[in-house]
Amino acid sequence: MTRTPHRLYTMIAFFLTAFMLQSAHAEQTLAPVSGTDQFTIQLPVVDHEVLIDQVETLRSQLIEHKQALVQMVADKKLDGRDAVITAIMPGGLLYAGYKKARYEQARNALASVSTDIEELSADLLSLQSRSAPTVVARAP
């Protein structure tokens, strides 16, 4: 008896997944094959050269942004002058805390941009080594 609800939930999950996939690919065209009740889904054509150019442009913009962030991190780092200001001025600890927070924020942004550049580089490699067009079969 415990298997029946499990099967029911499995079937419901299967049908919901199939419905979501079908609605996600509703814009795709169907091309008939040699069989009378079989179809293939022809995925939309993507111009790989334009896509590669867009990814390269985005990657170069991110590299420029990374260079600006490297300079910003260097500028925001606490140095001897900041230590003197912290010791002498009233509210110097607030100044140091603010400067440290801005430094950490710039470092986190730099790490995020570096990760994005690595991901775009991997995507660019996979786009440049593309294969033949993909055709996915679907049972009626």
Residue 77 has pLDDT above 70, yes or no: yes
Residue 137 has pLDDT above 70, yes or no: no
More confident residue, 99 or 19: 99
What's residue 42's pLDDT? 63
Q: Of 106, 122, 138, whose CA–CA distance to 21 is shortest?
A: 138
Q: Where are the alpha helices (DSSP H) in 30-91?
A: 48-76, 80-88
What is the per-residue pLDDT across 9-33, written as a single tens digit (0 to 9) for each?
A: 666 666 666 656 655 445 555 444 5
Residue 122 has pLDDT above 50, yes or no: yes
What is the per-residue pLDDT across 102-121, written as a single tens digit (0 to 9) for each?
A: 999 999 999 999 998 998 88
Angle, in degrees to the nearest 10, between helices 92-128 and 80-88: 150
